[in-house]
Structure 1
């Protein structure tokens, strides 16, 4: 058995609506086991999960690493789909509590391994740093909300110039092609109750916009790529097709926009090894580097734009783009500042932790996971 694959996604994000969570889609409630890891900053939650993730990959299991949007080097969770096991960070802002205690869920409290006296000695400093982190994130979200108003203005120019009849014809043609292939080939049964899973493929992080799209598309053989300047209309195309596929009984993985968390950037239909992706502003993806992808069909929405209408708003469009970019830069700078303050807070926790005891606990949890894996063989 060779090494497994790692798929990297974001379960939550720093958005124009504040912190937005799709945590409840990380794994189904009827999973084999869900470990909710509790504890403060710097206590080793992410390291705990990374270690188990790497061990399972080495043993040949495909693993999902659910990355933290507020820390480029940390994980919010690890999911091992083949055996229905997940480890989740259960601390704020993505608070997770057991829904089926004992039967499915349990808490691993790393606070059992800290020295309370050492932490109490730094109580005031911890409270101050924690308050500062919250304040910095609030400022960042205000900047993203400001950017949302600017983007709404920008979207309005493209909406006025767009021929929606042409856009709808693309939606129809893609949906008809996908469903037609299934019906003709008789290769797939439609689900009685199709699953739709929702996550983020990109994120605004302390280091700017980040993505792991190549890992999400790994295994996709056919991709529809929606290009064009009208980003909001591109999201409309993807979202409408995603809904249509789900209604018709196909399981879907829906990946939302890091900026507008209800909008859609990407839908993957795993059983068909097919995906529909839009061009995402600020994100550079090299499709030629996606393993197994052998057919890319490009649909350019710019062909339906009335350039004479856009010409009327040329100055306004440029101004909106510039203002939007600056607001995003400011938001990112405050997310980075919050990360730096969070690092300061970690410095009070790290010396207070018994990491040898945590490592011993980690080995016990790994043994239990391997026992669950045996049940699936």
Structure 2
């Protein structure tokens, strides 16, 4: 039987630059293989090949996707064995592990000057993407103000308090070694916006879909749920917004079998099975008729911030194009040889 796998991002191109959460997810491992690759592979990612072998043997996998290339992984974790592979370039130089091994993909000496040219082009395209996302976020903040100024905060606090009581989160005493892990459930990538909500929530018995508008307190609601679970001794997965990483999009408490997530665009979902419940913050906390009274302004601001999101993705596409061009110059990486080397080291630390 193939092993269960979950998918997420741990580094993201956002309105606040490239935002890494890699260390948060590698914190509990006993051994990490650090694969320092010099370019993204355009065909078959060695880390994907390495993952297939472990999955076919029935091991659970955490597959950490790259926000710069949907065909590549930034990391692979085998939680049952407490071992993993990190291939996310320079964003996390060390995880403080007692046991780490570095694997490099060397570049021919005569190609190194050209490599620097390509690296600068890629970084510039990423910078332009972050700048576009930042402008989009500034416009989005103006959209939020419409709802913030028409919101009943006392009602929102009451609703949050009642919901936390409804969850009946038990206190674990004495508390085990709990972990809070920070991640992204989705990302803007060169291939468009991707999210892994169905995969991340498929084994949970209770799923709470938070509906609302910009600025209606969805992130605050989620932050309070996460805090309650943490204080009661539970391990928590906190999934941040790929647009604004200081905002939260989902909280998962796996030992209690529930998640609560922002179910609005660009990751809008609807109930489809028993245990799915909708909580509409707009209907419960915002003055009736707000959408209608500000319809024209809302439409203009929504169009504006979405246009900058699209511009940002175009810049990520450009970075991917340059990266692929560099990969072609370097020649095809032997994905089988590298994946075998990675797996050999992982097996030695089982």
Query: 1:141-166: CA deviations, max 9, x gaps?
Result: 11111011101100011111111222
8 A Cα contact 2:207 2:260, kept in partner = yes
1:69, 1:260 → 2: CA distance? Answer: 15
Change in 2 beyond 3 A, CA 1:83/1:255: same
Change in 2 beyond 3 A, CA 1:348/1:190: farther
Determine which of 104, 127, 139 is the counterpart of 1:150.
Answer: 139
What TM-score does the superposition give when structure 1 sets the normalisation length?
0.85
Aligned position for 2:96: 99
Aligned position for 1:159: 148
Matched, 1:363 2:340: yes
SS at match of 1:329: helix
8 A Cα contact 2:33 2:342, kept in partner = no
SS at match of 2:149: helix
CA drift at 1:286? 5.8
Change in 2 beyond 3 A, CA 1:365/1:342: closer
Change in 2 beyond 3 A, CA 1:90/1:9: closer
Aligned position for 1:331: 312
1:192, 1:59 → 2: CA distance? Answer: 29
CA RMSD after TM alignment = 2.3
Aligned position for 1:66: 64
Query: Which structure dedicates a bigger proportion of its chain to helix?
Result: 1
SS at match of 1:276: strand
Query: Aligned runs of 1:345-360 on 2, under 5 Å?
Result: 345-350=326-331, 355=334, 359-360=336-337
> Whose radius of gyration is greater, 1 or 2?
1
1:45, 1:371 → 2: CA distance? Answer: 28
Q: Which runs of 5+ in 2 are unaligned?
A: none
Q: Which runs of 5+ in 1 are unaligned?
A: none
Change in 2 beyond 3 A, CA 1:360/1:281: closer
Determine which of 276, 283, 287 is the counterpart of 1:296.
Answer: 276
CA drift at 1:284? 3.8
Comparing 263-272 and 188-197, the one that deviates more: 188-197
SS at match of 1:327: helix
SS at match of 1:65: strand
1:277, 1:258 → 2: CA distance? Answer: 14
